[in-house]
Structure 1
């Protein structure tokens, strides 16, 4: 029996060595493996092999872009990452997910006031997060419908409703998509938050999400479902344009609808951190500023609620750099901001 002990010891050592060698020889998952894993994670199924191969090539290019951007910008304050949009080209992504119409000058607004109620505010908190105050509903997903404008307006209305009544109610974007069709707003084909506020006022309110659920497509106005108004607003105001300081005063007091340029590849693939660009000022997406703060390294940011689901960004949110040199703010966030009143 004693003679078997050295043999067992040798086998044990050889086993460890073999495991270490085999571990080192296992290659990193190939791009095709990553794609298959990604498809399984997001339940993606393609109509045929041609479509799958096309999407794989786009996925591969996006992953390579993400990895090169993350590796090549070590000082960058944000990271990119794979999400449910990684099989889309940037043009496809923008056409599906954006939809803000940069046409403020054409609006005939009967309920908008020229005043700015927060103009004389002299002190604001150093940070604000309306989520922690119960004034923000869960992240929603607009799907392949360019009605970001509806989600932005509804989020701002949900916020002011909570502040005025004490109740947080999830309101219906689909009612806006289906029923607000006589002006600039065109459902999945785009619209404006200010026009949405106009409709809500003339309509004497909005119903709940549960009463008029979101479908992600243009539909016929369900007047019966829309008849039970769950919340109302009395008007709305525009934040003075191109002033981050004015926007700060507004966001310190309530969630605010903002328009941004969200067309860049970095925005599509944003994962975490304080976003510092790249973007311009061609406003194409409606979102909601629900707070602000300062990162650990001192970088100031806006806390922005998006409507692209929770796989995008920081569980559906993005922190965008605040107090930059350009008066319009990063991605034009201070250009066309507005909020409802109640």
Structure 2
């Protein structure tokens, strides 16, 4: 009996040693340093749990997507949500827009990728700031301006973080794309990233740079709620800001078409920049994220499209909007 227990304990120690070596390699890759050994040990235990979840998911051959041990592997789900998302619901805002310019669209391409048409800037990184709402807004804005003018300009998320504050939008503490679109309309445009670079932090609004807009819009519209068909009509015509629930597998997503499980408690906003059907026949949305190029498919994700639930996968059809130039 004692021998069996000793053998089992030794096996666990070997496994822990192997995992710790993997942890050290992961720390070196991502330049992770901790203030003391207690913190390092705490993070190691979180790392172990995340790796177990990732490997369990990847061992399921029925899943058409893969997860990876990425730069977020030492974070709990709660920490990740507070640092890397940032959607805040509409609260006491005025009624959402009631017009939908693509209502009568009847024919759309079977697949579309706005990256190939020059309407998408390279992937950016919001850092440890709950500013996804600003990046989703800017992604949709950049696309709309390019389609209207032929010029693709990297616009300033930091202006929104610093200046579009009060009410629903609170910089790194979260925000709502519709409010950001209203700000851009009221300020007669948004400045570009070169004028007002991103810092991943809340700062005092730079009034000088705000007075030099690089692109403006006349209006924005919301896609009718709970309709993937209407969302398809919009994305077929321009990049669209969409909000989703990014908990669970999304944090460690690496490749393929994410098919859930996924809820509809929205916490993160991204830009829908296309759609299509995978080689194994799964319809998907193509999403541009704001977590850098080491996450996902070089910063992008594909999530399942045309599902039974009207909200769409991860709630993608419940809060979508686009700019009108």
| TM-score above 0.5 | yes
Question: Where does residue 131 of structure 1 map in the other structure?
Answer: 115
Shift of 1:102: 2.0
Question: Where does residue 306 of structure 1 map in the other structure?
Answer: 289
Task: Say whether residues 1:259 and 2:246 are aligned partners.
Answer: no
Secondary structure of the residue that 1:36 maps to in structure 2? helix
CA distance in 1, matches of 2:16, 2:167: 54
CA RMSD of aligned residues (A): 1.5
Shift of 1:106: 2.3
Shift of 1:54: 1.2
Q: Choose from 279, 288, 291 the match for 2:271.
A: 288
Secondary structure of the residue that 2:115 maps to in structure 1? coil
Secondary structure of the residue that 1:216 maps to in structure 2? coil
CA distance in 2, matches of 1:163, 1:147: 25
Q: With the length of structure 2 as denominator, give the TM-score of the two structures.
A: 0.93
Question: Where does residue 46 of structure 1 map in the other structure?
Answer: 34
Task: Say whether residues 1:148 and 2:135 are aligned partners.
Answer: no
Secondary structure of the residue that 1:131 maps to in structure 2? helix
Shift of 1:28: 12
Shift of 1:35: 1.1
Shift of 1:163: 0.3
Shift of 1:108: 2.1
Give matches, 1:162-311, under 5 Å.
Answer: 162-264=146-248, 266-311=249-294
CA distance in 2, matches of 1:48, 1:182: 38
CA distance in 1, matches of 2:322, 2:32: 37
On the 8 A contact 1:280/1:332 being kept in 2, the answer is yes
CA distance in 1, matches of 2:17, 2:69: 15
Q: Choose from 33, 39, 45 the match for 2:21.
A: 33
Segments of 4+ in structure 1 off by > 3 A? Answer: none
Give matches, 1:29-108, under 5 Å.
Answer: 30-71=18-59, 73-103=60-90, 106-108=92-94
CA distance in 1, matches of 2:311, 2:51: 31
Change (3 A) 1:166 1:32: same
- Based on CA coordinates, which of the two structures has the bigger radius of gyration? 1
Where does structure 1 lack aligned partners over 5 or more consecutive residues? 1-26
CA distance in 2, matches of 1:330, 1:224: 42
- CA distances 1:258-314 after superposition (whole Å, capped 9, x unpaired): 1101122x1111111000012111111111100000001110000001111111111
On the 8 A contact 1:161/1:168 being kept in 2, the answer is yes
Where does structure 2 lack aligned partners over 5 or more consecutive residues? 1-14
Q: With the length of structure 1 as denominator, give the TM-score of the two structures.
A: 0.89
Shift of 1:183: 2.5
